[in-house]
Structure 1
Amino acid sequence: LCRSFCFAVVGDAKDIDWFAPSGEKILPTRPNISVSRTDESTSTLTLYHANVDNAGIYKCVAKNGGKEAQATVQVKIFQKISFQSAPSPQEFNEGDNADIVCDVVSSPPASIIWKHKGSILQSAKDVRYKIMDNGHLLIRGIKKVDEGMYNCEARVMARGEIDFRLIKVIVNVLPTIRARKTEVNATADIGESALLACDADGFPEPTVTWTHNSVVLETGDKYSLNKDGSELVIKEVKKVDEGDYTCIAKNKAGEKAEEVSLNVFVLPNITYFNNQTASEFDEEVTLTCEASGDPTPTISWKFGNRLFTEGEQSLDRNVVVRSHARVSSLTLKNVQFTDAGRYLCTASNSIGEDNQQLFLEVRYAPKIMGLVAKYTWEENPANLSCEVAANPRASVVWFRDGIELPSSNSTNIKIFNTPTVNHLEITPESQNDFGSYNCTATNGLGSESKEFLLIQAEVPSSPKIEEVQPFSSTAVVEFEEPFSLGGVPILKYKVQWRLPGKEWRSQEYRADKGELSLITIVGLKPETTYEVKMSAINGKGEGESSRASTFKTEPVREPNAPILEVLPGKNLNSVKIKWTKQDDGGSPIKHYLLRYKAHVSDWKPEQRLPPLSDYVTLTGLDWNTDYEIHVVAVNQRGPSEPSVTSFRTATEPTTVPDAADGGSVLGTGAIVGILIVVFLLLLVAVDLTCYFLNKCGLLMCIAVNVCGKAGPGAKSKDIEEGQAAFSKDESKEPIVEVRTEEENTPNQEGGGPTEPNETTPLTEPE
């Protein structure tokens, strides 16, 4: 912008000068301002690049000799709207008083209007907003929701000028940080890692750093940080890693810190122990065990099945346990050879335990233990066992009548040694080999001898027959074992029976399967007198027989009732009834009769089962119901007394059985509905066939009565009324039998016949 101002002086002027609004004389050399004279009476002031700073009153002074004249000119310069400072974006911390800068220059001064989200901001509507005298927008306690674009609009209404600037306001949020766990526990020296974690929020997204003992932790051999730093992994945790760790969240708005405590526990570790050696009858010996760990471990002692606790042991005052801090001692007073062996020291705390075996060696003279008597018979080898306890190990020697064995004359004697037992094997050849044998054990601390007896065994005495219970074809013999076993166990019992004056028949029964006190003789004739006697057999041989007892079997009669047992079936509503045959009454069993019923119902049809059968399975029973079972054995003379038992079925499951388990997916109602639909479709098909082929049926009736169509004269009255009768052999439809679940008889399995007969299989595969 360039402006020129001219003044003409009346008369000649020697000097014409211009003065700026500040009173300063304007020199020709001044930049952007030019002063020139076109003639003797005219001077021109030219302002180049004029701006508002050039506005004001300029004075022109003319001089000639002693005369002076002056004149003034007022220069006004109007400036367009100019945004001197309106930076974008402008950032503030949440909660601060935000001064949004928008500096506008214009002349005359512009009025400033602020807008946000299309609305003009006014203090009257929101006291948090205030437009400052300098045009800035003040937002008191700025919030994150205040973030966004703001419009700073300047207006000079005098000349209709408007301009604006968009300013982006960013609200930074001070970080918040919280530890996932304020305390973390870890175990040292087991290769375990510890995870410390803090979750931080804020805007912009804060960075998380960790410090320990004022040292910033970084990813390396010892520590590992995830991408955002929120998780710190401490590798190979040791006791020295224990302490407080600080996680710090930091962004433009500031920083926050949180502490996480790492507690490092140490598994118990037995660091010292001592094995001991003592001699029997020493006054005392002490075992010591020392352990480390955090928390401080408690130490206990164990010997065999005995657990020793702190203090003097109540059961044995010769054992005392004393503990202090990490050290425990076990003191044994008046040492015995039985104290020798392995002691277990156990150090335990809340996170684990450690064990260490300590050994106490007790030196003592030999001690001979074991049985001193052995029974045998001629030509049957037997061992006399000399069990020796000694430390150091003892040498063992056998003697007979002062002569060391084996001797040159004793070919029937052998010696076998083990670490703790010395066996003298003797095969008696005559009465002279029975008697006393001496075992002598010797070590550096002393010796001990003991006499062992080899006794000749005898055959057992006779058993005592207490009672004979006869039946038609069997007899049960009840007896007591022999008074004398002969020194060796009974191997067998021999039972002999006969008709009076006839030869004895016999049967042997093993006695090694528990106690035997009842023996059953089978194959007897009904209503017959018999004699019976018994003898016992051991390794030596058969003993004397008992006195013969006489008994008479019963006449042919009805069989005894079988013994019943109820077992679970394959399904929850099925059972397996098993029976055991008893005395048949002298006549073979012809068959079994079984019947059953629910307690509140009538008896189901009786079932006849073959003589060799021993069980039957009942299926399809009602749920949660009590049942009663009767089973009768029948022979030629008639039925036995019924054997009676009862059972209760399980509660019906709430789940639908799977198809693979044989369950029905459709209920009874669904099956009935399907049958009705099938029946209706079949009825329609038959009616259509009758209509087109025979001019009869329901459709024919409708055609005659509604449509007026004449029916055939040969039709009967039933047909005219829309009814049709069919004989069985006239129907060409297949006969279909549909049986619902209620119609199935409950004593069937797999859809078999309701009542078994002689051809029914006795058993079913299990």
Structure 2
Amino acid sequence: MELAFRGASSWMMLDAYRWIKNGKPFEYTSYDNRISQQPGRGSLVVTNPKDEDLGQYQCFAYNEWGTATSNSVFVRKAELNSFKETDGSQKTVQAQEGLPFKLACHPPDGWPKPNVYWMLQGDQGQLKTINNSRMTLDPEGNLWFSNVTRFDASSDFAYTCAAKSLFRNEYKLGNKVYLDVQQTGISPTLNKHEPVRQYTTRRNEVALRGRKVELYCIYGGTPLPQVVWKKNGSTILSSHRLTQDNYGKTLVIRRVGYDDQGSYTCEVSNGVGTAQTYSINLQIKAAPFFTEEPQFQNLAEGETAVIRCKADGTPNPQIKWVHNGKPIEQAEPNPRRQISDDSIIITDLTKKDTGNYGCNATNSIGYVYKDVFINVQFAL
């Protein structure tokens, strides 16, 4: 594991580095040889990480002209716990032919959040993935049968919920579940049921700009219901960024943007009874992002420095300025320095104005930070 600091400008000749952990000075030399600093750099290298290494780290690089600050790095332990019930036991559940059905999964905790899915497990332990238009996995790990057929009954296999950690490259299995299908005695072609809602995304959904969002519209019924997606009343066409998965039951937007905000409706029908509709109001929020970043400046005494910083986001971000690693409010008073939300203006520069100036834009979603070196040269 490596904690790397790369925030200092190449124009600033660095003399020393220091780290803080959870807001307090972090003296890595007081630890054993597990923690070392790369020669000529501020990066910390942690070998054989332990629980005591978890926490929030931040690096400061400084010399006689100022201090540069890195972004905070939060170190967590990757783990995948076991299912709460993994005693090897098995159970049999009953479902009726032709009707919708749900197999519930209670996945284990883990970091990052594990991927959850269902498998078919043979009597000899062999595993097989499920790929069936009638069976759909929801985000919570439950398996929904749009309708149950007699062929879903367990004979030489069991249904098993699984959790996988991509980071740790391992997976855990839950207990076996056997499905007993109660046949109705009616011909499958005559056993029809109108659409019924099973799992849908909440009606008011919030997505983060730049992330992937999945909108679910899982309905049961016999025959298998068909889904048509619309946005603000217009049918949605698939593209490289917007697709439909799970046989149309999931609408996927790969990198959601402000233009994706609106009302999404799924129309569900199977030729039996009344067609169903369900609407989702999608709201887009965004962590702060720079629309104008502060830039390195190499100026002479007597000139004026204008350091600009603008950011956007939802909710609107608040901008705070940093000078040499500390809030600018704690900097030495300077009557030649004017501070506003989007700029710092320093007139009649002197060599003492040399230093690092950072812009931190924050809202309830996150933050973005950048500091730059302002170099003031002696006038000729």
TM-score (norm 1): 0.22
Q: Highest CA radius of gyration, 1 or 2?
A: 1
TM-score when scaled to structure 2? Answer: 0.39
